[in-house]
Amino acid sequence: MRSTHSGYTRLSKVHKVSAAGLTAAAAATVVFAAVSGGTASAAEAHAVKPVAWSAGSFGETQQDELSTYADAAAAKAKAEAAAKVKAAAKADAAAKAKADQERASRSEARKPMKPAAAKPAAKPAAPAKKAYADNLDGWIRQSLDILHAKGVPASYEGIKRNVMRESTGNPRAINDWDVNAVNGVPSKGLLQIIDPTFKAYHVEGTSWDIWDPVANITASCNYAADKYGSMDNVNSAY
């Protein structure tokens, strides 16, 4: 209801509107309608739409945003903490590995050094093969070395004396007239030995060729040592 007092219009309690449910614009419209005598229609009174949120909904929205920010901050803090733990574990592992390596190095350094393996003794070089002249002197000397190595007695003088009597130093000398020749086994070589005797008294290390001068001398001296004690004791046909 409207009443007039002191020249101004006053709103009754019925026309008072709570500002909590209206926007400032809507409240102004209502006041204007009331002052103008209530002639404005309801449609005009609501020409300005209220904002589509209330104090309560605003609080909920803000709360949701705060919750989102809090969750994100917590997740970031958790990730950073996990990264720090991982980095610390990696650092600990590296430090442990380094310490283990240092201990191993110190332990290795304390080990007594193994003596160097002794090199096998070098085999003595084979003595150079003795050279002998390819003549009567060389043949006698080579035969004497073989005979003495086998323990067969003989001398240079005794061998040369008998060689000169039997063949005059000719390694190809042959007797084709004595009894041996008649029997088909002529005496041959420097010391005129027959084939059966040469084969029976052949000395290992010499040739099996009866015409070989060293083999001929050596076999003949071996036979003379067996029959006469030494070629030195032979002074005629033997």
Q: Model confidence over 170-186: pLDDT tens digits?
A: 999 999 999 999 999 99
Q: Model confidence over 201-223: pLDDT tens digits?
A: 999 999 999 999 999 999 999 99
Residue 158 tokens read as: 């005794």
SS3 sequence of 65-115: HHHHHHHHHHHHHHHHHHHHHHHHHHHHHHHHHHHHHHHHHHHHHHCCCCC
Q: Where does the pLDDT of residue 100 fall: very low under 50, low under 70, confident under 90, or very high at 90 and above? A: confident
Tell me, what's the pLDDT at 13?
44
**Mean pLDDT value across residues 25-41:** 42
| Continuous segment of H or E residues that includes residue 5 | strand 3-5
Q: In terms of C-beta density within 10 A (0-12 exposed, 13-18 middle, 19 or more buried), how is residue 210 classed?
A: middle
**Mean pLDDT value across residues 48-75:** 64
Share of the chain above pLDDT 90, in %: 44
Tell me, what's the pLDDT at 72?
82
Tell me, what's the pLDDT at 25?
42
Query: Considering only CA atoms, which of 209, 210, 231 is closest in space to residue 222?
Result: 231
111/96 Cα distance (integer angstroms): 23
Q: Where does the pLDDT of residue 106 fall: very low under 50, low under 70, confident under 90, or very high at 90 and above? A: confident
Is the confidence at residue 35, as pLDDT, over 70?
no
Q: Model confidence over 112-153: pLDDT tens digits?
A: 666 667 677 777 777 788 999 999 999 999 999 999 999 999
Is the confidence at residue 67, as pLDDT, over 90?
no
Query: Considering only CA atoms, which of 162, 161, 143, 135 is closest in space to residue 201?
Result: 143
Is the confidence at residue 101, as pLDDT, over 70?
yes
